[in-house]
Structure 1
């Protein structure tokens, strides 16, 4: 789960991380009022979306007057911001963050990520702030400073000092940087985060260390104990299909292909997508209906898949254990009757109550293709998808 910049900064502020003064606004009038309350001579108006590269897309504006603050907010609110991270569909801007633009001398990069291979928190820092970490790693790999945190003891002061000195800070500045780095680590650890990125972290002209930007992502499976973080969730920033799938306990991820997939089990779903690719096709989604999928959930899965206008065929691949093939078959029949599918349907059933499931499909009278194996089903799905595309 992702949150907005201003929400991440609320968490960091409570952890003792230095931040510029700022306030969130939902209208141009609120943005101007925020600027007057914050004081200062220059302000930055930032579109609040779950994506980076906002500046290049016009989502960050430096303003020197209240009139410019109003214009910047009006130009962002209610619009869709498109960056290279959002894709062509973009993200809606429903709020902006107004922040005092303190002058600074140097920019740094600071990030914390859950390294699943090492099963540790990895801290990454660089003297090259304001650049994406991928660009830093590609163009200036020698500038990367990395520390692996031992979970039994947590991040220690000597590790934070080591990072600060390698960033080229002096003794006085190191003290502030250590407090910032340790504060970020506590915020990361205590809130079950999987990623925390401050880019840029800056050194101001008066020697303060401030986080000018902040991004945080969290472990979805830990939200039951992080209710305050869960309440920060903004469904408007998600693919509406993924949000709808979450409401029905379905695991859905939209992709760019043309063959819709409805599968039970994450491993089988991945294998199904691989087989579609091997057969020459492109999967349109990852969708796991789970182990106890009812007919209603299967019908919901169909509606989600068919909401993608790029889908030219649907492949249902069920290997029933806890699940039952007759439940899935009933869901398929229900979905076809309720929804005008309009694309070829390929079904492969195996496992618990498979004969009962196949009987339901045979006697339903609906138009579909059946397959005995996953290989056969994937090849068939690609073939009928290409035929449907040609006919259209």
Structure 2
């Protein structure tokens, strides 16, 4: 679950991390006088749209203003609109509030984050002297400027690792103590709040030498909802893809993609292989959809509904391995779901495992637009062929 910037900074402050004073604005009339704004030594403020996306500044979602009228003007122009960024997709994300903070006199920008390195199976802290830009761009242009501390889960981040990162960033002697304290508290926040990512970009060195968190991003692990209930109550579902939100509510793992061939698979690894084969056959997957190992007719029905909400879908490939659940029961569920949603999109079903032959026979005798296959490559090729036929027919 992603947090808004103001929420992320609130979370960090719980762990003794100093964040800039800020005011959340929900309408153009919310701020009536200067006294309501946080104190600004420079006499200027930064107004930032609260959306779950980076690259807000390039999209016009971050404004530098000098008075209350500037805050109101930004609110009139942003609140109630959809901000389209390089990360949001063409539909953009709704802007319901703005964060107003004092403008900082920044001397240098750094990057600092804590995340999980799945290859190492360890939490890592990542730092770079090139802040204020995407870490992927830094890694490509300046790979030598990416510094990592791999954290032993038994002892956690230790002070010497934080000092090594500080030296790598080229921080001044007077900043070392503050950076070490920040790094240790950041790791503590990551662990205690079950985070998947905490990113500070940029971490700024100000004119007076102090370090300041200019922007912060926090993503919490969905699997820890039962432990982080207070934060889950603050979840902003308006920022989430509607289809992905419905999938979560029904226990499905769904990610929208840009293709035209929908996938429904039981198992994440099998789903990835299925999407690869679709691309190998010349098609493009419209989604990642894992219905889980112990799927049911109800889950399959909801999966079909999710798939059919996507207007780009021209064919469906269902790839099920019957291990935990027999293929004949899966076929029965597919037939029931297809009838319930009045399935008209050409659908290829590949069944393998227990009672697969019986399941394929049930599909063939159903009288529905279901094509049964026993070979995955053949099923992918057939799905691509049907999608191309549908496109031609639409023309």
SS in 2 for 1:225: coil
Give secondary structure in 1 for the equivalent of 2:310.
Answer: coil
Contact 2:54 2:87 in 1 (8 A): yes
Higher helix share: 1
Deviation digits for residues 146-170 of structure 1 (CA, Å, limit 9, x no counterpart): 2222222211222222322333333
Distance 1:360 1:92, change over 3 A: same
Q: Does 1:303 align with 2:305?
A: yes
Counterpart position of 1:282: 284
Q: Which residue of 1 aligns with 2:4?
A: 4
Q: Give me the whole-angstrom Cα distance separating, in 2, the residues matched to 1:182 and 1:34.
A: 36
Matched-pair contact (CA < 8 Å) for 1:59–1:76: yes
- Give how far 1:31 is off: 5.0
Return the match for 1:73 from 62, 65, 75. Answer: 75
CA contact (8 A) 2:344 2:369 kept: no
Query: In the TM superposition, what is the alpha-carbon distance from 1:72 to its structure 2 partner?
Result: 0.7
- Residues 134, 266 of structure 1: CA spacing in aligned structure 2 closer, same or farther, 3 A cutoff? closer
Q: Which residue of 1 aligns with 2:257?
A: 255
Q: Distance in 1 between matches of 2:36 and 2:352?
A: 66
Q: Cα offset for 1:340?
A: 4.2
Aligned: 1:335 with 2:337: yes
Change in Cα spacing, 1:82 to 1:360, as seen in structure 2 (3 Å) is: same
Q: 2:234 aligns with which of 225, 232, 235?
A: 232
The aligned residue for residue 323 of structure 2 is 321
Offset from partner CA, 1:316-339 (integer Å, 9 cap, x none) = 122212223344333333333333
Contact 2:345 / 2:369 at 8 angstroms: preserved in 1? no
Per the normalisation by structure 1, the TM-score is: 0.93
Q: Secondary structure at the match of 1:386?
A: helix
SS in structure 1 of the partner of residue 350 of structure 2: strand
> Residues 108-119 of structure 1 correspond to what in structure 2 (within 5 A)?
108-119=110-121
How do residues 1-392 of structure 1 correspond to structure 2 at under 5 angstroms?
1-31=1-31, 36-40=36-40, 41-354=43-356, 356-392=358-394
* Cα distance in 2 for residues equivalent to 1:36 and 1:341: 56
Gaps (5+ residues) in structure 1? none
Matches of 1:264 and 1:138, distance apart in 2: 35
Instruction: Give the TM-score of the pair, scaled to structure 2.
Output: 0.93
Contact 1:24 1:31 (8 Å CA) reproduced: no
How far apart in 1 are the matches of 2:197 and 2:242? 23
Aligned length: 392
- Kept in 2, the 8 Å contact 1:173–1:209? The answer is yes
